[in-house]
Copies of this chain bind each other. A is one copy, B any other.
Amino acid sequence: MPVGERIIRIDAFDKVTGQAKYTDDLCPANALVAKVLHSSIANGLVKRIDISKAEKLNGVVKVLTCFDVPNLPFATAGHPWSMDAERRDIADRLLLNKRVRYHGDDIAAVVALDEQTANKALQLTEVEYEEYPPLLTMQQALAEEAGDLHEGFNGNILAHTEYRHGNLKEVIRDPGLILVEGKHHTQSVQHCHMENPVSYAWEEGGRIVVVCATQIPHILRRIIAQALGLPWGKVRVIKPYIGGGFGNRQDALYEPLNAWLSLQVGGRCVRLELSREETFASTRCRHAMDFQIKSWFRPDGRIVARSLKVFSNQGAYASHGHAIVTNSIGAFRNMYQEEMAITEEATTVYTNLPVAGAMRGYGVPQIVFACEAHMDEAAAQLNIDPIELRRLNMMKDGYCDPTSGIQLHGDGLELSIARGKDWIKWDEKRRRYTGQTSNIRRGVGMALFTYKSGLFPKLWEGSNARLVLNQDGSLQIQVGATEIGQGSDTVFCQMAAQTLGFTIDRIHMISTQDTDTTPYDPGAYGSRQSYAVGGAVFQAAMKLKEEILFFAAKILYLPDDTLDIRDNMIVAKEDGRLLLSVEEVAMQALYHKEYCRHITAEVSHRTTSNAFSLGACFAEVEVDLELCKVKVLNIINVHDCGQVLNPALAEAQIHGGMSMSLGYALSEQMCFDKQGRLRNGNLLDYKLPTALDLPDFAVDFCGLPDPNAPYGNKSLGEPPALSPAPAIRNAIYHATGVALPALPLTPKTLFAEFKNAGLIQ
């Protein structure tokens, strides 16, 4: 059966040999080059831009500034459009901005014959600002004396929401309860996908065509149209292979500006590629958050009440905004669900920092860090083994989230714990590493996570698939869902092969999305694709199979319900007798003069289920107190992701997620100076772990196929990146007794904390 097999990803050969075409490989050689002038202040107003020198430069085609752009505020977040105006993303962007809100904001653009000329023209462009004090921290932005960064958002609060369940005040009156309090902080990090944002655009047939590296071609089409004030159908977006996304490309980045620039130079082809430095400063990053958690435990470890306060640093523009922290607090209340009373408060704050947006985990890596750190602190305070404390309180088979109705099937958390605990030799090492006094100390820690599979029922969750049968009995799959490196193209092929009874070599994938012909799909985010789009592929395959059997029945003079397909052959259902090849059916259906039928199938599918994906990370670390260095000795992620569609891809996905979480835990952070300028916006100074920095990653799977998904799978895109950071943090806590409150756990942080704890001088 193709599903579950360790099939080599279908794009592996092309990607390894360099044969695969990415946006920049496809861009016409004679395209004009656009470059953006970014603001050199974090907060202020552009008073004047002198472009006279730049315009005179030989090779400059056009210089455009924030005084030229249409006054059409648009939202950039990659969400399906909502028919409910209340639920739409905040439209606080213009193509270029007079009101400058971060160091790196876009104020002008040059279109030139080549890159060198464009860069030179940027240097010749003179800007006069009116400068305001930068509001870099949430405290500064929330201070009474702070000016508003956006009209209509008083006090720089983008949104504030509260959630209450039960009567907390009542519950905590019980004098026998033990209160555990914690404050945690997570930092801002960048996605660091290999391919920097790049796009090119030109006018064709009175419409604007944009080729770009995006996770969300259909959504991006809408955003570009809104930003330019065009009917949506006048925009066409094409997405070739892309070099990673991780959520940064679940946003409109510079594609709307690129499209507009092309239209300003008569529809000529214009290419806009960001440098790595621009990618760091001027695209999106992960929200930094501040957490305050209080939990009230009974002495036996049962939680009876919790309160959570989160502040999320949005940076200069809304992007995905408050949806991120909303996802955080949702994950918080699901994970440990036995509490009787809960209050949650979440506040998203505009500041003069680069814009925070979607990033793998969408608010959950932050809350999992805070929550799981808090649980270990509670375990210590209660003197209960951290695993036992979790077991007591964690969500269990049959749990139903009251806000979404999503139900938990199976005991994946318990299974994950059991496997990880065993693998890491938890009991032995928890004992052995107690009471260490040397400079080098070891510890083991763990953390749990839960994550949903797609967006149902909270958000729109539709997907489409089209299958086109070739005359040789092979077929193409066309989906709007996007391959962004995660392997979705390969698993869709496996799914179609399985349902149709084809061998995998007969399935060809249309990897490129083209909004003109590709059926609508919102794209790659929310770990939705294999779960939600899998349903569309299943239905389309069933429909195509029905068509094939219809013609097979005509050719064979047999009732179609007696036929099936196995290994590309029409067989008798009863005894598996080989009757006819699918190729012969495809040929007859098409070329028989009485039929002339090209067999295709297209479905528009709505997903009406969701599933909790579950798992745990177990880590063993060695801490050098004097050097303040942490070495991860052993680490495992155990996942209940339902049916594993392709073990090779699943493991690779988990390796990638663990690597990302390790960087988050130990080294990555965006550092700003007092003017709000990013100090380490490049891959030398920003400490993204390389292969040499990483330990071997262990991976294990548990759990049963999900009952609602046609192929039994649950989400696995984002989950791997959730729990390693807190597991490592908790292992350090075990090794040193120091409850580190903030990420990343760099030597600098550790030095302060260890010193504070008296471990070092």
**A residues neighboring B (CB under 8 Å):** 10-11, 13-14, 19-21, 25-26, 28-29, 80-83, 202-207, 222, 225, 231-234, 267, 457, 460-464, 466, 468, 470-476, 478, 506, 508-511, 516-517, 519-520, 587-588, 590-600, 602, 604-606
Contacts of A28 in B (CB 8 A): 25-26, 29
In the bound assembly, the distance between CA atoms of A471 and B516 in angstroms comes to 12
Interface contact A81-B471, CB-CB below 8 Å: yes
Contacts of A519 in B (CB 8 A): 468, 598, 600
Given A231-B472, A233-B472, A596-B605, the answer on whether A478 and B517 have CB atoms closer than 8 Å is yes
Output the residue of A20, A222, A233, A592 with the most chain B CB within 10 A. A233
Interface contact A205-B508, CB-CB below 8 Å: yes
Interface contact A472-B600, CB-CB below 8 Å: no
Contact of A510 among B231, B475, B517, B592 (CB under 8 A): B517
Given A233-B506, A517-B478, the answer on whether A83 and B592 have CB atoms closer than 8 Å is yes
Which residue of chain B lies nearest to A232 when distances are taken between CB atoms in the complex? B472
Interface contact B517-A476, CB-CB below 8 Å: yes
Contacts of A594 in B (CB 8 A): 606
CB distance from A111 to the nearest CB of B (A): 17
In the bound assembly, the distance between CA atoms of A70 and B81 in angstroms comes to 54
Contacts of A234 in B (CB 8 A): 472, 474
In the bound assembly, the distance between CA atoms of A457 and B510 in angstroms comes to 35
Contacts of A233 in B (CB 8 A): 470-475, 506, 508
CB distance from A121 to the nearest CB of B (A): 24
In the bound assembly, the distance between CA atoms of A516 and B517 in angstroms comes to 11
Which residue of chain B lies nearest to A475 when distances are taken between CB atoms in the complex? B233
CB distance from A55 to the nearest CB of B (A): 24
Interface contact B593-A604, CB-CB below 8 Å: no
Contacts of A471 in B (CB 8 A): 81, 222, 232-233
In the bound assembly, the distance between CA atoms of A471 and B14 in angstroms comes to 35
The number of times this chain is found in the oligomer is: 2
In the bound assembly, the distance between CA atoms of A233 and B477 in angstroms comes to 12
In the bound assembly, the distance between CA atoms of A29 and B24 in angstroms comes to 12
Interface contact A596-B591, CB-CB below 8 Å: no
Contacts of A606 in B (CB 8 A): 594-597
Interface contact B82-A591, CB-CB below 8 Å: yes
Contact of A13 among B20, B25, B206, B457 (CB under 8 A): B206
CB distance from A476 to the nearest CB of B (A): 5
Output the residue of A466, A470, A511, A595 with the most chain B CB within 10 A. A470
CB distance from A217 to the nearest CB of B (A): 13
In the bound assembly, the distance between CA atoms of A21 and B132 in angstroms comes to 49
14 pairs across A/B with beta carbons < 8 Å? A25-B28, A82-B591, A83-B587, A233-B472, A233-B508, A234-B474, A457-B593, A462-B590, A462-B596, A468-B517, A478-B517, A510-B516, A510-B517, A519-B598
In the bound assembly, the distance between CA atoms of A533 and B475 in angstroms comes to 23
Contacts of A605 in B (CB 8 A): 596
In the bound assembly, the distance between CA atoms of A483 and B516 in angstroms comes to 17
Q: A81-B591, A83-B591 are in contact. List 4 more A-B contacts (CB 8 A).
A: A222-B471, A460-B593, A468-B517, A600-B604
Interface contact A596-B461, CB-CB below 8 Å: yes
Interface contact B202-A596, CB-CB below 8 Å: no
In the bound assembly, the distance between CA atoms of A82 and B588 in angstroms comes to 10
Interface contact B598-A520, CB-CB below 8 Å: yes
Interface contact B474-A591, CB-CB below 8 Å: no
Which residue of chain B lies nearest to A597 when distances are taken between CB atoms in the complex? B604
The 4 nearest A-B residue pairs measured at CB:
A462-B596, A233-B474, A233-B470, A520-B598
Interface contact B10-A205, CB-CB below 8 Å: yes
Contact of A508 among B207, B457, B587 (CB under 8 A): B207
Which residue of chain B lies nearest to A21 when distances are taken between CB atoms in the complex? B204
Interface contact A460-B517, CB-CB below 8 Å: no
Contacts of A231 in B (CB 8 A): 472, 474
In the bound assembly, the distance between CA atoms of A50 and B602 in angstroms comes to 54
In the bound assembly, the distance between CA atoms of A588 and B457 in angstroms comes to 17
Interface contact B80-A591, CB-CB below 8 Å: yes
CB distance from A548 to the nearest CB of B (A): 14
Interface contact A516-B520, CB-CB below 8 Å: no
Which residue of chain B lies nearest to A514 when distances are taken between CB atoms in the complex? B517
Given A233-B508, A596-B605, A604-B596, the answer on whether A460 and B205 have CB atoms closer than 8 Å is no
Which residue of chain B lies nearest to A604 when distances are taken between CB atoms in the complex? B597
CB distance from A262 to the nearest CB of B (A): 11
In the bound assembly, the distance between CA atoms of A81 and B589 in angstroms comes to 12
In the bound assembly, the distance between CA atoms of A233 and B586 in angstroms comes to 12
In the bound assembly, the distance between CA atoms of A80 and B80 in angstroms comes to 42
Contacts of A588 in B (CB 8 A): 83
Interface contact A598-B205, CB-CB below 8 Å: no
Which residue of chain B lies nearest to A468 when distances are taken between CB atoms in the complex? B517
CB distance from A364 to the nearest CB of B (A): 23
Interface contact B232-A462, CB-CB below 8 Å: no
CB distance from A304 to the nearest CB of B (A): 36
Interface contact A509-B205, CB-CB below 8 Å: yes
Contacts of A600 in B (CB 8 A): 464, 519, 602, 604
Which residue of chain B lies nearest to A506 when distances are taken between CB atoms in the complex? B233
Interface contact B590-A19, CB-CB below 8 Å: no
Interface contact B602-A602, CB-CB below 8 Å: yes
In the bound assembly, the distance between CA atoms of A598 and B457 in angstroms comes to 19
Which residue of chain B lies nearest to A83 when distances are taken between CB atoms in the complex? B591
Interface contact A460-B81, CB-CB below 8 Å: no
Contacts of A26 in B (CB 8 A): 28
